[in-house]
Structure 1
Amino acid sequence: MDQAPGSPQEPQGASGLPGCYRHPDRETGITCTRCERPICPECMISASVGFQCPDCVRGGSGTGHTPAATQPRTIAGGTITSDPRLVTKILVGLNLALFLVQLTVGDRFTDQYDLLGRAFVPELGSVEGVAEGQWYRLVTAMFLHSSIMHIALNMLSLWWIGGPLEAALGRARFLALYMASGLAGSALTYLLEEPYQPSLGASGAIFGLFGATAILMRRLNYDMRPVIALLAINLVITAFWPNIAWQAHIGGLVGGVIVGYAMVHAPRERRSLIQYGSCALVLVAAVVMVVIRTGQLT
C-alpha cells in the first residue's frame, strides 16, 4: 500500500494487509484520507469524504480532502463514501414502505408477490406460484413481511449489522451480498417447502449478513463470541419457533458465508473477479434449485 510522504512503515499482517496504526494486530484495507495511515473500523471517523483517523480529526478541522494519488478503499476493495450506511438505509426504507403498502392494500397485494411454489389463491382466483413462471416472487418475497413484529425484528437486525458491514465492504459489494443471500434463501425454500405454503421476509438476506459478518470479524481478528452467540440464538429460534421458514435462513446463511469469504479473502490482483464470481456461483446454485423444483411441480 502507498504510504504518505514521511510516514513510518506500517506493520504487515500474514495476508500482506497492513495493521491499523493504533491496533497493529488488526489488519485493514482502509486508510485515513488525510495522512493515509491504515485504520481499523474502530478508529474510522466519518468525514466529508471517506474516513479519517482520530489523530487527524484532533489535529485539524476534520474536513481534509483525499490526496489525488491515493483513492482509499475498504478491506474488500470498495470505494469509501461519505455515507457508509446509504444502501442499508435504502433497504430498510424499502422494506418499511412495502409493509405500509401491504397494510393498505391487504392480502391481495401480498398474495401477488410472496414466495409460493404452486397453489390456487382464492384472493386472486387463479393458480399462482414460481412453478407457474412467476420467478419474480423469489425476489419480491424478500421485501415483504407478515406482521409488525416480523418486520421490526428483521429491520433492527438489518440496521445493526448492515451498516458496519456496508462500511467494511462498500456499497456495491454489500448490495451484491444481500441479494445473493436472499435469493439463496428463497431458492432453498422453494426447493424444500410444500408448494402451497407461502413464505415471505428478509430473514434469508439477513442471515447472509450474519454469516458474512462472522467471516469479516474472523478476518480482522476481532472477538467473534458476540456474533456467534447471536447467530446461535437465531438458529435455535429457527429450529423451534413455529411458522418459520428455516430453509430461507439456512440458504441465506450458506450463501452469505460463501460470498462473504470471497469478499474479504480475495487476493487484490483478482479481487473483483473472485468477489462477483462468488455471487454468480450462488446465483447459479439458486437457478439450479429453482429449475429442479419447477420440474417436480409441472
Structure 2
Amino acid sequence: MLPDEPRPTADRSPEAGLPGCYRHPQTPTGVSCTRCERPICPHCMVAASVGFQCPECVGDGHAGARRATTRFGGALAADGGLVTRVLIGINVVVWVLAAYVLTPRLGQTWILLSTGSDLLGGPSGIADGPHQWYRLLTATFLHLEWWHVGMNMLVLFWLGPALEQALGRLRFLALYLVAGLGGSIFAFLVAGHEMKSLGASGAIFGLIGATIVMQLRDKGPLGPAMAFLVFNLIVTFSRPGIDWRAHIGGLLLGSLTAAGLMYAPRERRGLVQALTVVGALAVEAGMLLAGMALYGA
C-alpha cells in the first residue's frame, strides 16, 4: 500500500482530512500503531519504546512475554512473606486455643500419640490405624507452652521470608509441610511403641536444612547457618523431654526436598520439582507403613 492511499480499515474525517481512529472513527488522528499501522487517537495510544501502539497490540505483547518467576521457578509475589506470617498466625491461634480455651481437649486430640499393640491398651493413636493419622499433621501446629511456640515462631519468622521469596509461596508451603510430616512420621517409625510429641520443630529443622541447601546452591556463606544448626542439635540432645526424632526427621526430609526444588534444571524445573515433592511424600508413606507393621494391630 502506498503512503498516500487511503486505509480501508479507517474512516476519514471530512473536517480534518485525516483517518479516524480505528476505535473512535469520528476522531481524526495522524498517528498509527507501530505494529499493526492502524490509526489511533490520543485516548487509545500507548507509549512504546519506539512510537505508539494500540491497546490490542500491547495486550498481545504482554501475553507473549515470559512470566516473571522467583529464583527457583515460583510465581513472583509482591509480598514475599505472606505464607510465613499465615503459618505463624495459625500456630499462635492453635496455641491460645489449646493452652487457654479448649484445655485439655484440643491437646489430647491433636498431639502426636502412639501406643504399640504389644503394650496394654494398644494399639492407640497413630498405631491404631488411618483414622488417627491426622495427628501426624495436627501435632506440627500444636504447642502448649509459650516458650515453645515463641522459639519455633521466632525461627520461622527469621528463616521463612528468605526461603519463601526464593521458592515462591506454593513451593515454600510444600517444603514446610513435607518437613513437618517427615518429622512426625520419623518419630513414629523410631518410637511408635510408646510416644507423645508435639510442636513445629520438625518443620523448623526442615527450614534450617533448606537454608543450608540454599547457601550451597548460591555459593553463599555457610558459617552462620551451620552454627545455628549445630547449636540447635546440641540443645536437642542435651535437654530432656525434646523429641530428637522429630527434629532429625524434619531436617532430613526438609533438606532433601529443598535440594530437589533448588537444584532442578531450568528446562525441566516444574517436572523435577513436582517429582521431588511426590517422592518425598512417597518416602514418608513408606516410613508410615513400616511403622504400622511394627506397632499396629
TM-score, scaled relative to structure 1: 0.73
After superposition, what is the alpha-carbon deviation per residue over 1:159-207, rounded to whole angstroms, capped at 9, x for unaligned?
A: 1000111011000000010011111111000011253321011010111
- What SS does the aligned partner of 1:77 have? coil
Structure 2 unaligned blocks of 5 or more: 1-60
1:141-220 aligned at under 5 Å gives the runs 141-220=139-218
Match of 2:127 in 1: 131
Mapped partners of 1:194, 1:260: distance in 2: 27
Mapped partners of 2:235, 2:215: distance in 1: 23
Mapped partners of 2:275, 2:234: distance in 1: 32
Match of 2:72 in 1: 76
Mapped partners of 1:220, 1:88: distance in 2: 22
Identity among equivalent pairs (%) = 41
Instruction: After TM superposition, give the deviation of residue 226 of structure 1 in Å.
Output: 0.4
- What SS does the aligned partner of 1:198 have? strand
Match of 1:280 in 2: 278
- What SS does the aligned partner of 2:259 have? helix
Match of 1:227 in 2: 225
RMSD: 1.8
Instruction: After TM superposition, give the deviation of residue 73 of structure 1 in Å.
Output: 1.0
Match of 2:108 in 1: 111
1:262-273 aligned at under 5 Å gives the runs 262-273=260-271
TM-score, scaled relative to structure 2: 0.73
Q: Which runs of 4+ in 1 moved over 6 A?
A: none
Structure 1 unaligned blocks of 5 or more: 1-66
| Larger radius of gyration between Structure 1 and Structure 2 | 2
After superposition, what is the alpha-carbon deviation per residue over 1:247-286, rounded to whole angstroms, capped at 9, x for unaligned?
A: 1111111111111111111001211221121111121111
Instruction: After TM superposition, give the deviation of residue 219 of structure 1 in Å.
Output: 1.3
Aligned length: 228
- What SS does the aligned partner of 2:133 have? coil
**1:138·1:183 contact (CA, 8 Å) conserved in 2?**
yes
Mapped partners of 2:223, 2:109: distance in 1: 41
After superposition, what is the alpha-carbon deviation per residue over 1:66-116, rounded to whole angstroms, capped at 9, x for unaligned?
A: x93232211110011011101101100000011111021112211111111
**2:115·2:122 contact (CA, 8 Å) conserved in 1?**
no
Mapped partners of 1:208, 1:174: distance in 2: 11
Mapped partners of 1:218, 1:290: distance in 2: 31
- What SS does the aligned partner of 1:287 have? helix
Which one-letter code corresponds to 2:201 in the other structure?
Answer: S
The reply on whether 1:261 has 2:249 as its aligned counterpart is no
Mapped partners of 1:119, 1:101: distance in 2: 29
